[in-house]
Amino acid sequence: MPSHRRKIVAGNWKMNLDRSRVTELAEAVVGRSQEAGGVELVLCPPGVYLGTVGAALKIVDRTSPSGVALGGQNMHDKASGAFTGEVAPPMLVDLGCRYVILGHSERRSLFGETDAIVNAKTKAALAAGLTPIVCVGESLEEREGGRTQAVVTAQVRGSLAGLSPSDLERIVVAYEPVWAIGTGKVATPAQAQEVHALIRGLLASLASPEVAGRVRIQYGGSVKPDNAADLAAQPDIDGALVGGASLKADDFLGIAAAFR
- Cβ distance to ligand PGA smaller for residue 54 or 220: 220
Among 40, 106, 138, 176, the one annotated catalytic:
176
Give backbone dihedrals phi and psi of 89, rounded to 5 degrees, phi first.
-50, -45
User: Least distance from C-beta 84 to ligand PGA, angstroms?
Assistant: 26
Give backbone dihedrals phi and psi of 81, rounded to 5 degrees, phi first.
130, -170
Binding site for ligand PGA (CB under 6 A): 12, 176, 181-182, 220-223, 241-245
- Cβ distance to ligand PGA smaller for residue 9 or 56: 9
- Cβ distance to ligand PGA smaller for residue 71 or 220: 220
For 53, residues 6+ apart whose C-beta sits below 8 A from its C-beta are 22, 23, 26, 43, 45, 70
Among 40, 104, 142, 196, the one annotated catalytic:
104
Q: Is 176 a catalytic residue?
A: yes
User: Least distance from C-beta 221 to ligand PGA, angstroms?
Assistant: 5
User: Least distance from C-beta 59 to ligand PGA, angstroms?
Assistant: 22
Q: Is 104 a catalytic residue?
A: yes
Q: Which residue is nearest to ligand PGA (CB)?
A: 243
Give backbone dihedrals phi and psi of 139, rounded to 5 degrees, phi first.
-80, 170
What does the alpha-carbon distance between residue 247 and residue 156 come to, in Å, rounded to a whole number?
Answer: 28
Q: What is the DSSP string of 96-140?
A: TEEEEEES-HHHHHHS---HHHHHHHHHHHHHHT-EEEEEE---H
User: Least distance from C-beta 195 to ligand PGA, angstroms?
Assistant: 15
Residues involved in catalysis: 104, 176
